Amino acid sequence: MSKSSTAEVRRAPASSQGWFVWMTGLWIVFFVLMQKGQLDDLAAWIRDLPIVVEILTWIVFFPQVLATAVWTSTWSEGLRVTLVVLFVLVWTLLSLPRPKSSGRR
């Protein structure tokens, strides 16, 4: 029996598309705050939270809080830029919507 000439279109689940939009939006907010010079204030605000809330903030917003901590550190500017760019690239690539595999699970 021959295969049908119509190709099956596999789409990424809506939840993965929502995740990608959420992560992209958070990175946009990060860069807007960086451009305005407000990341130091944000880092201080996160540090001043009660410890349980601070830990939850780190868990929920891990890549952005990590990038904020790196950006506000005293490390050299080249190292900070390199690390922040790597964080953005890696988390964006991990967040790209992918179609579900057609295999059984």
Q: What is the 3-state secondary structure (H, E, C) of 3-23?
A: CCCCCCCCCCCHHHHHHHHHH
In this predicted structure, the answer to whether residue 91 has a pLDDT above a threshold of 80 is yes
Task: Answer whether 90's CB lies under 8 Å from 3's CB.
Answer: no
Type of residue at 101: S
What is the pTM (predicted TM-score) of this model? 0.78
- Look at residue 88 and tell me if it is in a domain: yes
Q: Rounded to an integer, what distance in angstroms lies between the CA atom of residue 33 and that of residue 73?
A: 16
Q: Which domain holds residue 83?
A: 38-96
- Look at residue 48 and tell me if it is in a domain: yes
Q: What is the pLDDT of residues 17-44, one digit of tens each?
A: 888 899 999 999 999 999 999 999 999 9
Task: Answer whether 92's CB lies under 8 Å from 23's CB.
Answer: yes
The domain total for the chain is 1
- Look at residue 64 and tell me if it is in a domain: yes
Q: Rounded to an integer, what distance in angstroms lies between the CA atom of residue 24 and that of residue 80?
A: 20
pLDDT of residue 95: 84
Q: What is the pLDDT of residues 1-14, one digit of tens each?
A: 555 556 666 666 66
